[in-house]
Amino acid sequence: MPANLTYMARILQKEEFEETILYIDTYFTPSSIVINETSERDIYIVVDVIRATTSMAVMFDQGAARVLVAGSVEQAREAARKVAGRLLCGERNVQRIPGFDYGNSPVQYAQLDLGGRELIMTTTNGTRAFYACPEQALRMAGSFYNAGAVITHALALAKTRACDIHIVCSGESDYFGLDDAVCAGYLALELQHRQAGIQLWDSASAAIALYEAFKPPRVLDFCSAARAVIDGGLPDDPPFCIRTSVSDSVPVVVGREPETGLLVIEKA
């Protein structure tokens, strides 16, 4: 069924029942996101398990005031020149970007005191996925590490707003990434367990099937993201990233900073 007709069918079905029906689907790559007249009122959970969205949760756990997401290295550097005192954080192909304060290691961030600091962040996959979502939609960062908190927050907002939840996998250079898909399956399954009547689209059901087949820690033996990080000299990061519901931080996009154009993420 064409995307616009699918959404119309969902709207009509919602109007047919007094109780709101919540739908869950999964985008396995950012480029597969469908944007139409209803999508900007929905909720998007961006997932980059290894490692961006895990690192974001840790940053807020460690006291960060805001994380400003840049779509490119150049945009991040320019923003840092405009506003002094911010930490430059990010990686390309696993490695810390030359001249940046930190890379994208959640293990490293867990050892820092970030109280009140503002961080500019750009990564190979995760930060770009936030820009792929509808501009006015509610976007939040999800991972195994903050799964319980992000599920609770997303579900409460979806019920209040009577909208759907989309789980967006950052993937690997816009190709399918097993770690993100497995995490998406876990989030979809937990959402279904917590709310009776939730409807899953085939993409969410597929993600759940992948989760059942590659439950952590097994997923680490099969995903290229884990291998790349381990080969890049950070063997502690992948096991850290599959720890489940450790953090209560839910990073949420609250808008764009006029001065730099960066997406502003704060703790919900």
Query: Is residue 16 over pLDDT 60?
Result: no
* Confidence class for position 21, pLDDT limits 50, 70, 90: confident
**97 and 210 fall within a common domain:** no
**132 and 122 fall within a common domain:** no
pLDDT tens profile 114-151 = 999 999 999 999 999 999 999 999 999 999 999 999 99
**146 and 207 fall within a common domain:** yes
pLDDT at residue number 17: 38
Supply the mean pLDDT for the chain. Answer: 93
Tokens of 260: 């730099």
pLDDT at residue number 19: 53
pLDDT at residue number 36: 83
pLDDT at residue number 20: 63
Backbone angles phi, psi at 47, to 5 degrees: -120, 120
Domain containing 174: what range? 20-49+128-241
pLDDT at residue number 37: 80
Helix or strand (DSSP H, E) at 267: strand 263-267
> 64 — alpha (psi -120 to 50), left (phi > 0) or beta?
beta
**87 and 132 fall within a common domain:** no
**263 and 208 fall within a common domain:** no
Tell me whether the omega of the peptide bond preceding residue 217 falls within 30 degrees of 0, making it cis. Answer: yes
**106 and 196 fall within a common domain:** no
Question: Letter for the amino acid at 25?
Answer: D
DSSP 195-220: STT-EE-HHHHHHHHHHHHSTTTGGG
Query: Is residue 205 over pLDDT 70?
Result: yes
**162 and 139 fall within a common domain:** yes
Identify whether 76 is part of a domain: yes
pLDDT tens profile 148-176 = 999 999 999 999 999 999 999 999 999 99
**134 and 218 fall within a common domain:** yes
**110 and 177 fall within a common domain:** no
Specify the pTM.
Answer: 0.92
